């Protein structure tokens, strides 16, 4: 079984950052005696263990600050873990947080040679690949310009082009693709596909969960420096959404606690929003073909004539996928005073796999927003293995003639 030879072993790795509050000699001397209070310990990674086999494509996901970049850097050997060990084998190419190691004062061409040399290529070998690299990057006209004059997209283009042309066994990619334009992203993803066919190992950090489920055969979910989940990508993505939802609710609560007085009590508000599929309990997954029932309760102590009830459904990337409001149905709601519940029934919904959020809005007759509750509730649509996307449809594929 030579199919999956281990190429990276992360063994019980923890990383502590010491955040110092001052940096100059004077401050250090002045504070020498009580330096303790000017330091802050922070564990960016806690007892992380991973084994990565050759040919795997691993997605690393987690909320901001969860330690993804830190983990990638320790694998790349750029920072040292505080405890634990990491070993790896084979040629490594890394694209860490916005680009490879480029030298600002050098031209693109010189940087290509510099990087290739760091990665262990001789000048001759680099000559051989040079034209391919430039062509792939698509910045031929700028190759003899200093990279400090590059746009961030151009920078990443060149960095990615170098990294994929030096024949790496292991490629580490940290969120760099997002900077490229759509055409280039496509090109990169195609390259990643061909890397997969060639049996190279890829570790990918991205906030695009679609890429994780589409490209990876394994996903690792990090939260606060710990591995929460390690396994099938779509399960990791689901768990990740739960983590995000928890965090969002915590933040919303904290926000409410401090901003209570700003809730427009006198001017009417949305009291509650709930969602469920007909025939299912609240919180259960919503299946394609279900009738979705959204109930929103509104009130307005001083009275709001000709008021408008509206909802909008967003997917997890915040893209609106559905929206409707009472005027569209020529519905006259009269005057809002006492708590009033409106039921929106969305028949036969066909959402694709994923989590969806419902934003709830109360408007006056001029359509000014009286009260908004973004992401008031959410629902999940279970994993569907025959198709991806935000729309559900049962596929059928057949050959119709030669």
Q: Which residues bind ligand ATP (CB under 6 A)?
A: 17, 19, 42, 44, 62, 64-70
d(CA 157, CA 121): 20
195, 370 in Cβ contact below 8 A?
Answer: no
The single residue among 30, 38, 51, 118 that binds other proteins, judged by CB under 8 A, is 118
CB of 229 to other proteins, least distance (A): 24
Mark the segment that binds Mg ion (CB under 5 A) among 65-73, 135-143, 292-300, 382-390: 65-73
**Which of 69/274 has CB closer to Mg ion?**
69
d(CA 185, CA 157): 9
CB of 274 to other proteins, least distance (A): 46
d(CA 137, CA 116): 15
CA contacts within 13 A on the Cβ side of 317: 10
C-beta neighbour count of 91 within 10 angstroms:
14
Q: Which residue has the tokens 């934003």?
A: 359
356, 321 in Cβ contact below 8 A?
Answer: yes
Q: Which residue has the tokens 């000017």?
A: 38
CB of 68 to ligand ATP, least distance (A): 3
The single residue among 14, 31, 113, 337 that binds other proteins, judged by CB under 8 A, is 113
What b/e readout covers 185-212, taking b as 16+ CB neighbours within 10 angstroms? bebbeebbeebbeeebbbbbbbebbbbb
**Which of 174/314 has CB closer to ligand ATP?**
174
Which residue from 70, 311, 72 is spatially nearest to 204, judged by alpha carbons?
A: 72
**Which of 2/329 has CB closer to other proteins?**
2
**Which of 99/268 has CB closer to other proteins?**
99
Instruction: Based on the shown chain and the rule CB under 5 A, indicate whether residue 364 belongs to the binding site for Mg ion.
Output: no
CB of 223 to ligand ATP, least distance (A): 9
Q: What are phi and psi of 385, to 5 degrees?
A: -85, 0
CA contacts within 13 A on the Cβ side of 398: 3
| Partner in contact with 66, chosen from Mg ion, ligand ATP, other proteins, none, beta carbon below 5 to 8 Å by kind | ligand ATP
For 197, the token pair is 């066919």
The total number of residues shown for the chain amounts to 402
371, 301 in Cβ contact below 8 A?
Answer: no
d(CA 167, CA 322): 45
For 80, the token pair is 């040292």
Kindly identify the residues of this chain, within the stretch 5-44, that bind other proteins according to CB under 8 A: 5, 7, 9, 17, 23-26, 28
**Which of 44/93 has CB closer to ligand ATP?**
44
Question: What would the DSSP string read from start to end of 297-312?
Answer: EEE-TT-EET-EEEEE
CB of 118 to Mg ion, least distance (A): 22
The single residue among 31, 47, 69, 324 that binds Mg ion, judged by CB under 5 A, is 69
Bridge partners of residue 226, in order along the sequence? 223
**Which of 67/180 has CB closer to ligand ATP?**
67
CB of 64 to Mg ion, least distance (A): 7
d(CA 357, CA 338): 27
Alpha-carbon distance values, 69 to 72, 74, 170 (Å): 5, 9, 16
Radius of gyration of the chain from its Cα atoms, rounded to whole angstroms: 26
**Which of 44/133 has CB closer to ligand ATP?**
44
Residue nearest to Mg ion (CB): 69
| Partner in contact with 62, chosen from other proteins, ligand ATP, Mg ion, none, beta carbon below 5 to 8 Å by kind | ligand ATP
Binding mask 66-95 for other proteins (x = CB under 8 A): -------xxxxxxxx----xxxxxx-x-x-
Mark the segment that binds other proteins (CB under 8 A) among 3-11, 206-214, 252-260, 295-303: 3-11
Q: What element of type H or E holds 103? A: none
Mark the segment that binds other proteins (CB under 8 A) among 35-43, 98-106, 342-350, 389-397: 98-106
Kindly identify the residues of this chain, within the stretch 164-223, that bind other proteins according to CB under 8 A: 167, 169, 197-200
**Which of 101/138 has CB closer to other proteins?**
101
Q: Which residues bind other proteins (CB under 8 A)?
A: 2-5, 7, 9, 17, 23-26, 28, 54-55, 73-80, 85-90, 92, 94, 96, 99-106, 110, 113-115, 117-118, 122-123, 125, 167, 169, 197-200
Q: In the complex, which residues of this chain contact Mg ion (CB under 5 A)? A: 69
């Amino acid at each position: 079984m030579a199919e999956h030879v281990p190429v990276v072993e992360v063994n019980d790795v923890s990383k502590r950052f010491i955040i110092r509050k001052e940096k100059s000699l004077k401050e250090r001397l002045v504070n020498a005696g009580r330096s303790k209070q000017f330091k802050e310990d922070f564990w960016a990674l806690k007892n992380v263990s991973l084994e990565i086999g050759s040919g795997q494509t691993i997605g690393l996901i987690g909320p901001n600050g969860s330690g993804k970049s830190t983990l990638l850097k320790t694998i790349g050997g750029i920072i040292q873990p505080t405890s634990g060990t990491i070993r790896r084998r084979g040629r490594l190419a890394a694209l860490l947080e916005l680009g490879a190691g480029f030298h600002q004062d050098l031209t693109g061409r010189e940087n290509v040679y510099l990087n290739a040399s760091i990665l262990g290529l001789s000048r001759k070998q680099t000559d051989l690949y040079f034209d391919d690299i430039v062509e792939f990057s698509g910045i031929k006209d700028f190759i003899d310009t200093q990279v400090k004059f590059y746009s961030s997209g151009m920078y990443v283009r060149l960095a990615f082009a170098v990294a994929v042309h030096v024949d790496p066994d292991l490629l580490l990619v940290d969120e760099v693709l997002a900077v490229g334009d759509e055409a280039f992203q496509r090109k990169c993803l195609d390259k990643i596909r061909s890397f997969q066919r060639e049996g190279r190992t890829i570790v990918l950090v991205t906030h695009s969960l679609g890429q994780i489920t589409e490209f990876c055969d394994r996903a690792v979910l990090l939260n606060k420096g710990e591995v929460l989940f390690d396994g099938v990508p779509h399960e990791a993505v689901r768990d990740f959404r739960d983590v995000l939802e928890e965090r969002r609710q915590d933040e919303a609560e904290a926000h409410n606690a401090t901003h209570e007085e700003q809730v427009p009590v006198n001017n009417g508000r949305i009291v509650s929003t709930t969602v469920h599929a007909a025939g299912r309990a609240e919180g259960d997954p919503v299946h394609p073909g279900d009738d979705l029932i959204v109930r929103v309760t509104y009130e307005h102590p001083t009275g709001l004539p000709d008021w408008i009830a509206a909802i909008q459904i967003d997917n997890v990337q915040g893209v609106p996928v559905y929206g409707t409001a009472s005027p569209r149905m020529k519905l006259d709601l009269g005057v809002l005073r006492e708590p009033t519940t409106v039921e929106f029934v969305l028949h036969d919904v066909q959402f694709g796999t994923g989590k969806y959020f419902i934003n709830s809005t109360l408007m006056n007759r001029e359509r000014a927003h009286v009260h908004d509750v973004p992401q008031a509730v959410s629902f999940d649509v279970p994993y569907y293995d025959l198709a991806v996307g935000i729309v559900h449809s049962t596929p059928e594929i057949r050959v119709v003639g030669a």
